[in-house]
Amino acid sequence: MKRTTLMATCAATLLGTVLTGCSDSTSAESHGPTASSASPSTPATVDTKSVGKLGSILVDDKDNTLYLFLADKKNKSNCADACAEAWPPLLTKGAAKVGKGVDEKLLDVTTRSGGDKQVTYNGHPLYYYVNDKKPGQTNGQGLDQFGAKWYVLNTKGDKVEG
């Protein structure tokens, strides 16, 4: 009888650990730098940050790196569905706010196919990368995904290679 109880306790503990592990990984994703892009309640802010050899690049107000997608057309995103899950767009409610080092004339907003407002800079729709887990990370830099390359942007709105 003790052996049956011990096995049941071990099984319940193991199941609890597995379920907790699953829920932790799901919630961890929702707390990353992309959480604010899901449904904005305020205007997005574009700022700059100096990041090593990349120099001064565009980030949001929490220092999360922003990217451009070479497959996009001027002020038109070509990243949807699975692409937008890996590269969530920087969405805004209303006009985007200008941060330190950002050229106000280059900052704008475009409407995505679903009606959301996406921030653009120098005509490039802006995105986060889901594998940038902490502010300042640039894990998406130079990746070739969904048919084209992804780059961080400098303050002129040009791709940064390096």
Alpha helix (H) residue ranges in the chain: 2-30, 82-86
Domain chopping of the chain, boundaries: 1-31, 36-152
Pairing of strands 97-98, 45-51: parallel
Q: What is the spatial distance between Cα 119 and Cα 13, in angstroms, rounded to a whole number?
A: 47
pTM: 0.78
Query: pLDDT truncated to tens, each residue of the chain (162 aa)?
Result: 444 444 444 344 333 333 333 333 333 333 345 433 456 789 999 999 999 999 999 999 999 999 999 999 999 999 999 999 999 999 999 999 999 999 999 999 999 998 999 999 999 999 999 999 999 999 999 999 999 999 999 999 999 997
CB atoms near residue 60 (< 10 Å): 23
Displacement of CA 63 from its chain's centroid (Å): 11
